[in-house]
Amino acid sequence: MDNRYAIVLAAGKGTRMKSKKPKVLHAVGGKPMVSHVVEQVQAAGFEQTAVVIGHEGEQVQQALGNEVDVVWQTERLGTGHAVKQAEPLLGNKKGVTLVISADTPMISAVTMQALSDHHEHSGAAVTVLTARVEDPTGLGRVIRDTRTGDVEKIVEHKDATAKERGISEINTATYCIDNEALFSALEEVTNDNAQQEYYLPDVIEILKTRGEKVSAWETPDASEALGVNDRVALADAEKVMQRRINEYWMKQGVTFVDPDYTYVSADAELSPDTTLYPGTILRGQTVVGEGCVIGPHSDISDSAIAGFTTINQSTVCSSAIGEHVHIGPFAHIRPETNIANGAKVGNFVEIKKSNIGKDSKANHLSYIGDADVGEDVNLGCGAITVNYDGKEKHLTTIEDGSFIGCNANLIAPVTVGKNSFVAAGSTITENVPGEALSIARSRQSNKEGYMKDK
165 marked as binding residue: no
- Asked if 377 and 340 touch (Cβ cutoff 8 Å), the reply is no
The Cα–Cα gap between 106 and 42 comes to: 15
The Cα–Cα gap between 421 and 364 comes to: 18
Give the three-class secondary structure for 57: helix
102 marked as binding residue: no
Helices 202-209, 179-186: axis angle to 10 degrees equals: 100
Q: Say how many C-beta atoms besides its own lie within 10 A of residue 315's C-beta.
A: 19
Torsional class of 442: left (φ above 0), alpha (ψ -120 to 50), beta (otherwise): beta
229 marked as binding residue: yes
47 marked as binding residue: no
370 marked as binding residue: no
CA angle 243, 246, 247 (to 5 degrees): 80
Residue of 118, 324, 364, 394 with catalytic role: 364
Burial class (CB in 10 A: 0-12, 13-18, 19+), 322: buried
103 marked as binding residue: yes
Told to judge if 364 belongs to the known catalytic residues of this protein, a careful annotator would answer yes
387 marked as binding residue: yes
352 marked as binding residue: yes
78 marked as binding residue: yes
73 marked as binding residue: yes
367 marked as binding residue: yes
246 marked as binding residue: no
Burial pattern 358-377, b for ≥16 Cβ within 10 A else e, equals bbbbbbbbbbbbbbebbbbb
Q: Sign (positive/negative) of CA torsion 372, 376, 380, 382?
A: positive
378 marked as binding residue: yes
- Rounded alpha-carbon distances, angstroms, from residue 401 to 254, 324, 361, 379: 37, 19, 11, 11
What residue numbers does the annotated binding site for Mg(2+) cover? 103, 229
Residue numbers belonging to the annotated binding site for UDP-N-acetyl-alpha-D-glucosamine: 9-12, 23, 73, 78-79, 140, 156, 171, 229, 334, 352, 367, 378
Would you name the residues annotated as active-site residues? Answer: 364
Which positions make up the binding site?
A: 9-12, 23, 73, 78-79, 103, 140, 156, 171, 229, 334, 352, 367, 378, 387-388, 424, 441
- Binding site membership for acetyl-CoA: which residues? 387-388, 424, 441
